[in-house]
Amino acid sequence: MHPYLTRFDRELALIVSKLPDAVRPLMLTASFIGQPIIVIATAIAIGLGGVIRGSRPLVYASVGTLVAFGGNTTIKHIVHRARPETLYVGGMRIHSYSFPSGHAFGSTVVFGLLAYLAYQHLSHPWHVITTAAIVILIVTIGISRVYLGAHFPSDVIAGWLLGSLSLFLIIKFLHP
């Protein structure tokens, strides 16, 4: 990795590591919520909801999120970035490459889609409250991956950025 990126990752990880021990349960919970099986199940539920309601846009959005996951996995295999050498990573049951963070990517795409739908269908102030809560969840999931030692900060930032781009493209597809 480039020395600037290495220094950036080290300095940002140091800041996150100074969070109090009291936040560890929150970080473990956020990481659990952001795991791919839950995020993919949520995307499938959105699609099934679309089928039940006869809403093609929801079905298309669900399929779009699943396709985006394939893109994220492809990038992981192209970049081949190893994860940090931490106890947390050593204890992981499933091992994959580090860049970009699948948790950050998936939660941005799928939970971001839920925020978009909430903003479209809920009245004020509920759409604002729901959207804010989802954004906080997405950010917390990303921070949890650095806090727990599963990712470098740049992995998470890349996941958020690629997830945001994917979400933008999905929404653009729904509303050309």
Token pair of 156 as six digits: 């998470």
Question: Half-sphere exposure of residue 125, counting CA atoms within 13 Å on the CB side?
Answer: 3
Give the active site residue among 80, 121, 151, 175: 151
Contact 157, 52 (CB under 8 A): no
List CB contacts of 45: < 8 A, sequence separation 6 or more: none
Give the active site residue among 80, 103, 121, 124: 103
Question: Does residue 20 have a cis bond before it (omega within 30 degrees)?
Answer: no
Is there a catalytic annotation at residue 151?
yes
151 DSSP assignment: S
**How many other CB atoms are found less than 10 A from the CB of residue 14?**
10
∠ at Cα 103 (101, 107), nearest 5°?
125
Is there a catalytic annotation at residue 103?
yes
Contact 161, 112 (CB under 8 A): no
Token pair of 111 as six digits: 């939970």
CA 35 to chain centre: 8
Where in the sequence numbering do the catalytic residues fall?
A: 103, 151
